Structure formats: C-alpha cells, structure tokens
Amino acid sequence: MIIHTLGPAETDSCEAASDYLRHQCDDGRLVLHDSFESVINHLDAFVGDFLLIPAAFKSSRRNIDWADVHYGCLEQLKLVDCFHGQLDPLVLVRRKDAAHAIAYTHPATVALLKKYLQNSDRSVEIRYTNSKYLAYQNYRLNHAQLVVTNKKIISLGEQETIEKTYAVDMVWCVYKILKQSR
C-alpha cells in the first residue's frame, strides 16, 4: 500500500498516514508531497495508490477544498475508508517584538486566527502556506507577529507567547486512486 499525503514529516497528515499504515498493513510506504494539489493534479501518475486527505483540506494555491476534491474527482478517487483522531494541539503564537504585522496560517485554520483577531485590537496581513509546519517556518524567517501551528514544533523565544491553545479532532479520508475513465 502506497499512501500519498502532505509532507514534510512534521505535518498532521504525515502522522495520520503513518498511524493508518501501522494499523492496516506491514509493508506500506508513504510518499510525502509539498501540497495536496501536487497529488490531485497528477492522479494519473499514482493509479493504484492511495490518497490520505483531511476533511478540513483547503488549498493555499487554488480556491478548492475537500468537497471540491471529493465531488470533482469522483471518477478517479474512490473513498475506501475514513477515521478520526485528535491532532497535536494547535497554538496561536504571538511575537511581542514583531518586525512585521503579518500572520501565517494554513487556509484550513484561518477561522481560528480570524476569531482571535476579532477579539483583539490587532490588524495584520494574513499569509497562507501549504501546511501549519510551513506557517511556523515562515513566521520565524520573516519575524512575523502571529502564527497558527502545531504545539509540538514550536520553540518559544522570550518575546513570544502562546495566546491560545486548541484541541482539534480531525476526520481523515482515504481514497483509492483509479484510472480515469475516458
């Protein structure tokens, strides 16, 4: 069994796919991609393999989400399994001495950021990334003000605080990738 999902190894998708493989088969392997779009746009190259994608999927590149993938790829994706599980806690981190009024997030978690901003006096430019892991990397690299990411990957500096922690249960969908009918 070969499962395609979002990488790098620090993503929730990689962790969910690894757990799924451990419970389903002994000889499976993961193929990690920079984005779900890189799988969805090349399904013909992965016929016979599987795609693991969260129900909360939203693209940072195109205006598509899980429903668009589910219905838009009916001929090439057959839903074969679903499961749910707790994500690593998510956190909203604020840098007190930020160089830029920028917030990084994955599109799927932007609602958490927007709710926080509604209840604060902060105004920031929101920038989207392909994963929460990349959101944190960009936040650090650009000395941004806010980020929504996984708690397990952060390393707080003295000018950073966790403003909010979120416990999230996620639904995961496993699809068999089929040959496109002509």
**Assigned architecture for domain 90-166:** 3-Layer(aba) Sandwich (3.40)
The domain over range 2-87+169-177 is classified in CATH as 3.60.150.10: no
Tell me the pTM. Answer: 0.85
List, for residues 59-110, the tens digit of each pLDDT value: 878 889 999 999 999 999 999 999 999 999 999 999 999 999 999 999 999 9
4, 6, 109, 79 alpha-carbon torsion, rounded to 10°: 0
Which residue is it, tokens 């389903």?
24
> Residue 107: is the preceding peptide bond cis (ω within 30°)?
no
Write down the pLDDT at residue 182. Answer: 60
Domain with CATH 3.40.190.10 in the chain: 2-87+169-177
Mean pLDDT, residues 22-50 taken together? 94
Write down the pLDDT at residue 18. Answer: 95
Q: Are 57 and 140 in contact (CB under 8 A)?
A: no
Least trusted range by pLDDT, from 52-66, 70-84, 147-161, 166-180:
52-66
List, for residues 122-153, the tens digit of each pLDDT value: 899 999 999 999 999 999 999 999 999 999 99
Distance CA 138, CA 98 (A): 13
Contacts of 170 by beta carbon, 8 Å cutoff, 6+ apart: 12, 16, 54, 55, 56, 84, 85, 86, 87
Q: How far is CA 182 from the centre of its chain?
A: 32
